[in-house]
Structure 1
Amino acid sequence: MKPHVLITGTSSGIGLDCARLLIENGFQVIGTVRQAADGERVREQLGSAFTPLLLDVTDLAGIPAAIAEVSALVGDNGLAALVNNAGIASPNAPLGWQPIAEVRAMFEVNVLGLLAMTQACLPLLGARRGAPRPGRIVNIGSTSGAIATPMAGSYAISKFAVEALSDSLRRELSIYGIQVAVIEPGPIRTPIWGKAEGDQRFAQGDFAPAMQALSSLAAKMATQGAPVASVSSAVLHAISRPRARPRYPLNPMWWLNRLLPTRLFDRLLCARFGLRRLG
């Protein structure tokens, strides 16, 4: 039997391309979708090696039944890997004025949904004494997990949390031989950019220049961001190589943030987003 990988959020973007690449490399993929029509569309596109799983990762009550379906599919072989890809980007806003409900919704998907899926899948990944073939956990993070971009602070907070979550899981689950990796892409050409722009609440006033700069960046990245295949290739490496890397930084800004003094990096970011001291 081909090894099974469970990927969350496979209806489009990174999740869909990861499913494609893993199937091409000999894996069976179970992919979560929130709409049955999306599952049918992806299965038609990827073939019989793809099995759709109808699930919203924020539906804590529905996760056990969905994982029971996965268990029935994979049998005693369990999962070779779990790829936590499902995520959202909230409307952009200065963090000091963003409604808490928007920040909470971000955490429900990007952090708590990720953790809930991981907890539910641990038995299938071999989190028990003497498990013969421990699986792997691959979390899709972001360069925003290292760099808090102005006007996108709530997204950065959630991705910083994914970094801490991944570190904790990697250290704790080492007793079972389960490897945990986090992929850290920069801007990728996916539909998420179109969902992230267009908020007009701060189009006027003190933060107008920063909001305009971010809107321009989103429009640019929708067509000029890195290819989605760069993320899929990193996921394949993390799953198929003898040793996964703890982190896969895919954007030079991740390294620049580590090398430059914090105050200098602050000045560069503030200048890029038109954030100047008001007179």
Structure 2
Amino acid sequence: MKPFVLITGASSGIGLDSARLLIEQGYRVIGTVRREEDGERARAILGAAFLPLRLDVSDSAGLPQAVRQVEQWVGTEGLAALVNNAGIASPSGPLLLQPLEEIRGMFEVNLFGLLAVTQAFLPLLGARHGSARPGRVINIGSVSGRVATPLTGCYAATKHALEAVSDALRVELGIYGIAVVIIEPGPIRTPIWSKAQPDTRYLDSDYAGAMQALFGLLAHNGAKGAPVATVSRVVLKAIEAPRPKPRYPLNPMWYLAALLPTRLLDRLLAKRMALPRRPAR
């Protein structure tokens, strides 16, 4: 048997498929789930090599018990990798109107929860003196970490912040030999799109037309996104490559945004989201 890998948000989508692929390759996977029934369902799909771990990444009070449970499972072997996959993409809306408590809530899951989990499990990845086999931290980011689409600015902000955290950790954890990788997919066909419906309260605002456009974009992403295996294969590569890349962009928009002038990109995004452009003074 190959080593243990911990995946957050393993009950569906990228997390579940990554667990499937890793188990097929001989790994033992510990996957976080928020509900007991989700863990039972995932274990029925994946078999005995999958160990469900009840944990909400935004619940810092539950972390110490989760760490103790993982320590019992892995013993002195530790973890080969931590795959930070858990995250949310909803609610959406214009930043002008979106309540700050919603924005804080998304940061609690997508950034602060991720960082808390990483801090808690880094000792099991080799972040301590005398560790013989350092593991890897793999963060599931997004093309939104490079391009902020209007009306999903809150989500993009969490993914932009994840880029900065990943860059800093990559250098800081170099003293232990721990590699830090960020994977940046575009739209993937996962259940996250059915959970990320725009809030209808904005339909009577000046952003009504843009919100309708966002409804259509979310539906398109849910139906036409890339297969989830697109990400799972890169997760495996990031774990097994002798020298993994710092980042793996998986969508052409990531490269396009790096090349286009900012104002041209702004105009293209505004047109895509049916946002009228009034000349600035």
> C-alpha displacement at 1:198, in angstroms?
4.5
Which position in structure 2 is the counterpart of 1:169? 169
Which position in structure 1 is the counterpart of 2:89? 89
1:132 counterpart = 2:132: yes
TM-score after normalising by structure 1: 0.98
> C-alpha displacement at 1:76, in angstroms?
0.8
State the SS of the aligned residue for 2:58: coil
Which position in structure 2 is the counterpart of 1:248? 248
In 1, distance between residues paired with 2:204 and 2:36? Answer: 41
In 2, distance between residues paired with 1:41 and 1:111? Answer: 27
Which position in structure 2 is the counterpart of 1:188? 188
TM-score after normalising by structure 2: 0.97
Give matches, 1:1-279, under 5 Å.
Answer: 1-277=1-277
Aligned amino acid, residue 120 of structure 1? A
Question: Do the aligned residues in 2 keep the contact of 1:90 with 1:103 (CA within 8 Å)?
Answer: no
State the SS of the aligned residue for 1:95: coil
Aligned amino acid, residue 197 of structure 1? Q
1:125-172 CA deviation, whole Å, 9 max, x = no partner? 001223111000000100001111000000000011110110111010
Aligned amino acid, residue 44 of structure 2? E
> C-alpha displacement at 1:278, in angstroms?
5.2
Question: 5+ residue gaps in structure 1?
Answer: none
In 1, distance between residues paired with 2:102 and 2:125? Answer: 33
Aligned amino acid, residue 50 of structure 2? F
State the SS of the aligned residue for 2:214: helix
State the SS of the aligned residue for 1:83: strand
Question: 5+ residue gaps in structure 2?
Answer: none
State the SS of the aligned residue for 2:61: coil
> C-alpha displacement at 1:244, in angstroms?
1.2
In 1, distance between residues paired with 2:175 and 2:31? Answer: 28
Question: Do the aligned residues in 2 keep the contact of 1:182 with 1:246 (CA within 8 Å)?
Answer: yes
Aligned amino acid, residue 138 of structure 1? I
Aligned amino acid, residue 82 of structure 1? L
Aligned amino acid, residue 170 of structure 1? R
> C-alpha displacement at 1:83, in angstroms?
0.3
In 2, distance between residues paired with 1:191 and 1:38? Answer: 14
1:76-97 CA deviation, whole Å, 9 max, x = no partner? 1100000000001122110111
In 2, distance between residues paired with 1:208 and 1:72? Answer: 52
Aligned amino acid, residue 61 of structure 1? A
Kindly report structure 1 stretches of 4+ aligned residues shifted beyond 6 Å. Answer: none
Percentage identity across paired residues of the two chains = 65
State the SS of the aligned residue for 2:226: coil
Question: Do the aligned residues in 2 keep the contact of 1:14 with 1:228 (CA within 8 Å)?
Answer: yes
1:180-227 CA deviation, whole Å, 9 max, x = no partner? 000100001111111111421111331112111111010111110011
State the SS of the aligned residue for 2:14: helix
Aligned residues between the structures: 279
Question: Do the aligned residues in 1 keep the contact of 2:9 with 2:86 (CA within 8 Å)?
Answer: yes
